[in-house]
Structure 1
């Protein structure tokens, strides 16, 4: 199993697991690799340190690899958590598209059934909703996640 660090042309970093180096190359050349954040297929392998299993190392002078820095782990964990939240929001809300502000008002005033919705609204529309006591949250959805869910 080959585990490699990858990045897309938009700067998003992620990990890929492949049966071999040849399989990584085959998928890359066939355009099968896609960034899980933005959907870009311009994906390249990043340099990464060799992983050495030292769980049984006991003697002095044996090589010991340091774990990834906490900052790198935190950034990867944050990105993974964000994607998980976005997927959950997408799966548990109704997409009302550009009718978002109108539908939010209808729900707020009891003219439509209460439910979780999502859609698009301008900054001006969000400000007007806020003035009316209707709370909203702008949640950018990465390209590639904005299509049909599987």
Structure 2
């Protein structure tokens, strides 16, 4: 596993874990990585300092301070991030009962509503990454749930 510092176009910084650099690149290309603060999917790697330990037989020299950014970027503190994530989870929990579970038929149901073959409805379900990309490519609004849920058939 590898951790990357990431940032969105809104200058929000966050970190995420990936199996490899290739895994990050694949998920980024498919628009599967979103800023947890604003939801922006235009996410890129942020500059990060590597953690390299000094050899035991060498003196440790403090690194030169990083140059000051030309524009101040205020990073959210952990309390704000926790609050935002809790608010997202609460809103999702509020909306799910108003939404109809369609299971693995999510992509077909969303496409049918978009094309006017089915009445507009709030739905949630499962879609493969390829199905989700095909919906985006066709201009069909769909987004992943930010907080994982247990499908009804898997609940106790």
TM-score (norm 2): 0.44
Structure number with greater Rg is 1
Higher normalized contact order (CA 8 Å, seq sep 6+, divided by chain length)? 1
TM-score (norm 1): 0.46
